[in-house]
Amino acid sequence: MAIRSPEALAKCIDHTLLRPEASADDIRRLCAEARAYRFASVCVQPVRVALAVKELENTGIPIGTVIGFPHGANGTAVKVYEVERAQEQGASEFDMVIDLGAVHDADWQLVAADIQQVARRVHAGGGVLKVILECALLNSAQKRRAAEIALESGADFLKTSTGFASGGATLEDVRLLRQVAGDRCKVKAAGGIRTLHAAIEMLEAGADRIGCSAGVTIMEEAMRAFKQTA
């Protein structure tokens, strides 16, 4: 993906704050930054959805939240309830962690059923589902199979990472997910993306969206860079 302006870059960034210690003022600051830069969305913990919705009222900026986060170990019924509750509060984008234990058990039927039920609830409310594979914890065969199942089960995005595991997004993983996705769904890179260079690399490797907490830093770099080349 070629980025031709800071504004175009901002539309590729999910401005994210998922630290467990994040305060209400931190969330307000996140939302103010999203308003200033017109990011694609904000992504917050479920307990902060209502606050983010209030702060971004009438801006058109979607509110995202996480489901089964960060380990994917919640039962499917719990994940579906998390979606329902967040939808009631105004969230419209949902980053769901797959059942990683089931992946390692090669219980692909369970992996698929988990995603399908969450996808059904998300889509019934008109939302977007981003399925987190947590690539750092999977081998290449597991990544590919999990990505294929996620796509078949209703994912709107294949997402690399939570940012809370042993590693984050890599160019290799983004390319693999892009290869599986083709033009059937989108790809989100997340975890450890803190510079303009890293963000551009991920987009050029095939990501459609970047999830990061360093959105402001990246935008400041981008504005300087585009100004120099203007």
At 174 the three-state DSSP class reads: helix
**Across all residues in the chain, what is the average pLDDT?**
96
pLDDT greater at residue 123 or residue 2: 123
pLDDT at 228: 72
Whether 188 sits among the annotated catalytic residues: the reply is yes
pLDDT at 44: 98
Reported as a single tens digit per residue, the pLDDT across 40-65 is 999 999 999 999 999 999 999 999 99
Residue of 14, 79, 95, 208 marked catalytic = 95
Instruction: Parse the chain into domains and list their residue ranges.
Output: 6-229
- Which tokens hold the place of 215? 């959105």
pLDDT at 203: 97
For residue 212, what are the β-bridge partners? 15
Query: What is the average per-residue pLDDT within 79-104?
Result: 98
- The H or E element containing residue 87 is helix 76-89
DSSP 8-state secondary structure symbol assigned to residue 3: -
* Residue 128 backbone class (left: φ over 0; alpha: ψ -120 to 50; beta: rest): beta
Q: What angle do CA 183, 215, 230 make, to 5 degrees?
A: 85
At 209 the three-state DSSP class reads: strand
Reported as a single tens digit per residue, the pLDDT across 123-166 is 999 999 999 999 999 999 999 999 999 999 999 999 999 999 99
pLDDT at 3: 79
pTM of the full structure:
0.96
Residue of 79, 143, 186, 188 marked catalytic = 188
CA-CA-CA-CA torsion for 191, 173, 3, 14, nearest 10 degrees?
-30
Query: What is the average per-residue pLDDT within 214-223?
Result: 96
Residue of 79, 130, 143, 159 marked catalytic = 159
Work out the pLDDT band at 227, boundaries 50, 70, 90.
confident
Whether 159 sits among the annotated catalytic residues: the reply is yes
CATH architecture designation of domain 6-229: Alpha-Beta Barrel (3.20)
